[in-house]
Each structure stands twice: as structure tokens, then as C-alpha cells.
Structure 1
């Protein structure tokens, strides 16, 4: 078996928690699974919604998922994650999540997700979007589905 194209890379998957739609959850799980199959380590915010679905996909594919929690209670994270790291930073953990990632994939959108999108955009972290809010054309690569999103991440990281 050959190493995946994202071996040694850390990719954050961000998206809504409370307001995640069924389509967001299905896409996030598929993205998490495909990232793990490509050898990436998955990073999330550690909670429910898109974060939990992406972690479920990654661990089901035998990958590693790390959740960076906003609070200080490890037990508050979703159990689908391989590792849960309490930061005690509150919403500031969004910045830590983005800066720890080699690329960010946003599935759906919410106010917290929008902050992560903006942080990735402002700091030059490659960004792929699945069903984002109406954003400027230069916000990131907009993908039609989970396989296209992972192909876009691979492409964006190929030269880095």
C-alpha cells in the first residue's frame, strides 16, 4: 500500500455545530473519511455537528482525528475523535485550529465557521468550501461535493 497524497498533512474541517443540516453532516463525514484515506490527520473544533461527523468519517477509515476544544473539559468533546485537546481559549481556539492546519475545509456555514474562513483567508491557509454562504469570489476554492473538496485540498497542498 502506498502512502496517501496527504501523508503528514493536517487538514481542519470546520462547519456548523448546532445548525448543521443533514447534508452538511453527510458531506463532513465523507470529507473526513476521504482525508483519512489520503493519509491526512484531521483537525476539528472537537464538538458535535460537522466536527463530529468529520471525525466519525476519519476514524471509520482508520485515520486520526484531533479535536481542539474551546473549554477545559476533555469530556465535553465528541467521542468520535481520536484525541481531544482542551485549550481553555473559548472561541479564540478557532485561530489555533486554523493556524495548526495545512489546509482548511469548510462544510456549510455558521458564524463560527465564518470566523475560521476569514482567519484562513487572512493568514494564507489554503481553503476549500462546500456550500458556503455568499462570499467574495476569492474566498477559497468552492467544491461541488466531498470528493471534489478533497481533490482540491490535494491540489492546493501539492506545491507546498
Structure 2
């Protein structure tokens, strides 16, 4: 079975953030993994666009009841009718996740991933501290390629 890599990030992005999301999606597709995301705009759209441009497959875990609300780069839209609570379902569907930039929704997804023991790679995103010490559960990457390589390595580690 192919590895499922989730891309987490903000609903609204700058042009630079969008380009980075496209790169992450392209790297996921080149690696032969399936991209999972929230299926809507911003970083979700960017990553899905990148994956599709590189011949990859995309899945969107949608907040509403209508699969047609997914962006045009989503192959499989899964309506959940869970709103923001779909974040847990998205994370649970993945072998590892990559958080790219992000707002509070991304932070909630990171928290779900850490709680569910789904590996997290951070790319210009949140840092989390516990009792004044950085949480070792977020593996920091400096580029899209490094983020995907690290996520694949973590996904394959039992």
C-alpha cells in the first residue's frame, strides 16, 4: 500500500507560502506517496496542485457535506460534515504529516498528530514547547524536498 502523507497549513497563503506548498506536493508525488489534505484553498490547494502537476494522487478530507466543494486538484473528496473537527480524521488517515506555515487550525492538526503518534515534520511552522523545552515530536525541515524525505523516513519507521 502506498504511503499517505498529509499536508497541513493555512487556509490563506502568501504567494511565497503557496509556492512552497506546490513544491511539497510535487515532492510527495515524485516519491510515489498519496497526498492527503483538507481539500479546500490555501496550502491545501497548493499542495494538491503540486501533486497533480507531478502525476500524483490527492485526497481531500472535507469539512462539509458536499464533495464538490473540494478544490480542482483533489481526486477523491471525502465529505465529513465535521467542520474543523475533521482535522483529527485527516491526521488519523496519514502515515506522517508535514505542517507548512499555518494558523490555529494547523496547530490543532499538529496537536492531534502528536497525540495520535503520527509523525510530524515542520516546515516554517509552529514550534511547541512543553515545560520550557521544545517538543521533540516535531521534526524540523528546511526545504520541501527535505520535509518529504523526512516524512517518508518517519512513516516507514515502526
Q: Same fold (TM over 0.5)?
A: yes
- Whole-angstrom CA distance in 2 between matches of 1:91 and 1:154: 26
- Of 9, 12, 19 in structure 2, the residue corresponding to residue 15 of structure 1 is 9
Structure 2 partner of 1:59: 52
Q: How does 1:9-48 map to 2 (within 5 A)?
A: 9-18=3-12, 20-48=13-41
Q: TM-score, normalised by structure 2?
A: 0.92
Structure 2 partner of 1:122: 115
**Aligned-pair CA distance for 1:135:** 2.3
Structure 1 partner of 2:156: 158
Contact 2:25/2:49 (CA < 8 Å) preserved in 1?
yes
How many residue pairs get matched? 153
**Aligned-pair CA distance for 1:83:** 1.4
Structure 2 partner of 1:92: 85
**Aligned-pair CA distance for 1:107:** 0.4
Structure 2 partner of 1:148: 146
- Whole-angstrom CA distance in 1 between matches of 2:139 and 2:126: 13
- Whole-angstrom CA distance in 2 between matches of 1:139 and 1:157: 13
- Whole-angstrom CA distance in 1 between matches of 2:49 and 2:79: 19
- Whole-angstrom CA distance in 1 between matches of 2:117 and 2:106: 16
- Whole-angstrom CA distance in 2 between matches of 1:135 and 1:10: 24
Structure 1's unaligned 5+ residue stretches are: 1-6
Contact 2:70/2:77 (CA < 8 Å) preserved in 1?
yes
SS in 1 for 2:149: helix
SS in 2 for 1:141: strand
- Whole-angstrom CA distance in 1 between matches of 2:50 and 2:76: 15
Structure 2 partner of 1:132: 125
